[in-house]
Structure 1
């Protein structure tokens, strides 16, 4: 998979989706299968609530220096999503942040990490 075979969530989300929070689940290239299983498990678990899981992004993109997949959800799901990720993320690093329109704030002061943090490329903002 390369940059032309996936779309970021902002291009995939249904119209009028309440895009209030983002979760980025990072993985190493050799962890693609395990990350895909986690993504599928997440999609299944949250299938009955307002929740969106995007494509597997297997190359660095934007401020994200490694492969990842992304989930979007409204504030009303925040606690359930974070608690689920705490239990189910295995060894994956997860960034959870609000979507305020200020990308630098969202990825720094507004950021919450589960597991080890990943050094993001803030100069893209």
Structure 2
């Protein structure tokens, strides 16, 4: 392979890598999750990073004591974060494969989301 062929091949590989990175970025941007409490009093939505996006309380939530409601919100938020983390791991596995880079990313996800 001469230098021109090598350079063309190298550019082609870089283009494929860049396209994969763009696709992964778009997929990650769309990740989020919503979880509801077992009886439906609380629904929590989070983004790809697990940051809170919204909390919805139904009339049933008003019947709960403040401490119980607070705990239910936290528990439901953790479940939404776990779901978002699991989705993040799936998207990144498609992009990175089963690699040390994937292990590095998933080690920081909420428990059960990492591999």
Coarse TM-score class (shorter-chain normalised): under 0.3
Query: Is the radius of gyration larger for structure 1 or structure 2?
Result: 2
Higher RCO by CA contacts (8 Å cutoff, separation 6 or greater) = 1
Tell me the TM-score normalised to structure 2 length: 0.27
TM-score w.r.t. length of structure 1: 0.26
Q: Whose helix proportion is higher, 1 or 2?
A: 2
